[in-house]
Structure 1
């Protein structure tokens, strides 16, 4: 078997077995999902892209063929955290931003420090501290008393 075909099959099988894909299927079939009332049906799924972050799946791009035509291209990503650091100086409050190169826009964008959680770990605070430390070249500690609002 051709090496390219093996690579494609390996990533496709990993995509189907990933928590991202399984969560999407669960959402479709839940009591508030788009398949719940039986008027729509999932015929097939075409995996179009798998982006790996090391050994884990970072992003999936797939197309869902739904029986009754509705837009069905999906870009699935896992849970992420964003850090809002506010600094006060002389009565003014400033938000700390980081510069990120964003290829789709062709520009450098100012953003809040953001990072993806490791699959199924749920360590919001640890990920937030790690991402802020990396993005901003700051030394942060878990011993700080963060105020978290999880939406």
Structure 2
């Protein structure tokens, strides 16, 4: 098993060894955006322990080692990394450190209002195979991972909608509901202004956007049953239109859909959304 020393992580941490698998070398791992982002966030959070009001001020935790357990490649780039981080305090107490790294994602709540009935609302949903859930027809709002070429959440969201739904969205039409809901709250750690669906085991965070628009009823009907998706990514997506009033009935299994609904309702109630 090869290994390397992690440089410049923290001056008060012991020497940190990263143990590798044969699936990726040091340079490849260090260039994986999700790994770099996770390290930077962890470093910042551990540094907060120096303040006297921190829960761990009297016996601080530090990163001791990282063991890479597996690496999955998406063609020429790393897609997923599973690792075990050893984080202990001076008493030898260890924090749970099994981590599945995949990076950030975006999701979009798309609401259509027919021009002939503005109080009527339809939500664009995607139905596709989700093998980790054991499903071939999982219903959810449009979403996707942020890849290395995308520089903004909005850009990633617009790209996913074009690929999955076939609609061209302008970035200025998208409202970042997670960021809007969190405005005014100063977090003690440098976490993303996004929803973390499974922070006990995964680094993934999801920025949730709203796209709400009036559309001719004929255009809305044309979206029904439209088969879309990027064939090169082995996607097989069917677009479904769902009555907004049935959104929780159908979409409650999906964390993104639940979060999008709650953000939308909250921001409407607080008049943060028009």
Task: Normalising by structure 1, report the TM-score.
Answer: 0.76
CA offset digits 1:107-126 (Å, max 9, x no partner): 13211111222237423333
1:39–1:115 CA distance, 2 compared to 1 (3 A): same
After TM superposition, the structure 1 = structure 2 runs for residues 1-151 of structure 1, keeping only pairs within 5 Å, are 8-13=21-26, 14-30=28-44, 32-33=45-46, 36-37=49-50, 39-67=60-88, 68-89=93-114, 90=117, 91-107=119-135, 108-119=137-148, 121-136=150-165, 138-142=166-170, 145-149=172-176, 150=179, 151=193
Aligned residues: 141
* Structure with max Cα Rg: 2
Q: What is the CA distance between 1:33 and its match in structure 2?
A: 2.7
Distance 2:76 2:49 in 1: 34
Q: Which runs of 5+ in 2 are unaligned?
A: 1-20, 51-58, 180-192, 194-274
Structure showing greater relative contact order (alpha-carbon pairs closer than 8 Å, 6 or more residues apart): 2
1:34–1:112 CA distance, 2 compared to 1 (3 A): farther
Residue 15 of structure 2 corresponds to which residue in structure 1? none
CA offset digits 1:65-100 (Å, max 9, x no partner): 222222111122222221221112433212111013
1:45–1:120 CA distance, 2 compared to 1 (3 A): farther
Distance 1:135 1:121 in 2: 17
Distance 1:119 1:36 in 2: 32
SS at match of 1:78: coil
Distance 2:96 2:48 in 1: 14
1:57–1:148 CA distance, 2 compared to 1 (3 A): farther
Task: Normalising by structure 2, report the TM-score.
Answer: 0.45
Across the aligned residues of Structure 1 and Structure 2, the Cα RMSD in angstroms comes to 2.6
CA offset digits 1:111-151 (Å, max 9, x no partner): 11112222374233332222112212x24144x74132143
Distance 1:50 1:97 in 2: 31
Further displaced range: 34-43 or 47-56: 34-43
1:59–1:35 CA distance, 2 compared to 1 (3 A): farther
1:10–1:33 CA distance, 2 compared to 1 (3 A): same
1:127–1:27 CA distance, 2 compared to 1 (3 A): closer
Distance 1:27 1:123 in 2: 18
1:54–1:146 CA distance, 2 compared to 1 (3 A): farther
